[in-house]
Amino acid sequence: MADTDDNLAIERADRPSSQRKIAKILAAARAEFFGNGFSASSIEAIAARAGVSKVTIYSWFKTKENLFAEMVKGECAHLSQNFVAENLESKGVREVLIDTAENMLDFLTRDERVRFDRILAAEVSRDPRVGKYFLDNGPRALLQNLATLLESAMDQGKMQSSDPIASAEMFVGLVKGHLDLLLRYGETINLTASKRRERAARAVDAWMLIHQK
């Protein structure tokens, strides 16, 4: 399995028509990877779903590994939409973190994400590099984005931490709690919007007891 390549042609595809085609490819890749995992998904199937040729996909993404990484980055970007320093001024740290926690809980409990997690875990036992592609482009990137937001809050004198990455890890742990374990072993978790908000607020308030200045 080849290493992922950061110098992708998609970074140079600035025409609207190219961007629309790339968006279709990434949407098709998401459906395939989330439905079938990495190993069972093929460029042929993704190309057919996107309505493009294999050559088009390879010209922009070069490898299936790169396409997988870009799909994961897209999910990370969606979850990171609240990690904007300007939000700290308009909404405040607590509100930004509650919105972040709600988005995390919504993503974690989606059926497609749970299936993907289980498939990916089985694949990693056969090829650990699949797990590295996922972790580097998803959870680790997301954690760094959250830590960067916390650093912005620290710069503004709104919170304190000697280690923003460790604080970000603690935040994620408080939000997730036992959910990951329960979902991994077949438990069905149905969080209503109000329950999700309540859980998010509880996690944020516990976290802020340690970090609020």
133 pLDDT exceeds 60?
yes
Distance, in Å, from the CA atom of 148 to the CA atom of 153, rounded to the nearest integer, reads 9
> DSSP for 105-169?
HHHHT-HHHHHHHHHHHHHHHH-HHHHHHHHHHTHHHHHHHHHHHHHHHHHTTSB--S-HHHHHH
- CATH number (domain holding residue 41): 1.10.10.60
Domain of residue 177, residue span: 72-211
**pTM for the model:** 0.78
Distance, in Å, from the CA atom of 13 to the CA atom of 18, rounded to the nearest integer, reads 6
pLDDT tens for residues 90-131?
A: 888 899 899 989 988 998 898 888 888 888 888 888 889 888
Question: Angle, to 10 degrees, between the axis of helix 111-126 and the axis of helix 128-137?
Answer: 140
- Are 26 and 113 contained in the same domain? no
Region 185-192: mean pLDDT is 88
Distance, in Å, from the CA atom of 137 to the CA atom of 92, rounded to the nearest integer, reads 28
For residue 153, being part of any structural domain is answered with yes
Of 100, 87, 200, the C-alpha closest to 153 is: 87
**DSSP letter, residue 80:** G
Q: How confident is the model at residue 86 (pLDDT cuts 50, 70, 90)?
A: confident
For residue 4, being part of any structural domain is answered with no
pLDDT of residue 156: 87
- Are 95 and 185 contained in the same domain? yes
Of 198, 201, 193, 203, the C-alpha closest to 173 is: 203
Region 67-74: mean pLDDT is 90
- Are 58 and 80 contained in the same domain? no
What's the whole-number average pLDDT of the chain? 87
- Are 141 and 205 contained in the same domain? yes
Cβ atoms of 179 and 153 within 8 Å: the answer is no
CB atoms within 10 A of CB 186: 8
- CATH number (domain holding residue 137): 1.10.357.10
pLDDT of residue 180: 85
Number of structural domains the chain divides into: 2
pLDDT tens for residues 158-180?
A: 889 999 999 999 999 999 999 98
- Are 77 and 182 contained in the same domain? yes
- Are 104 and 150 contained in the same domain? yes
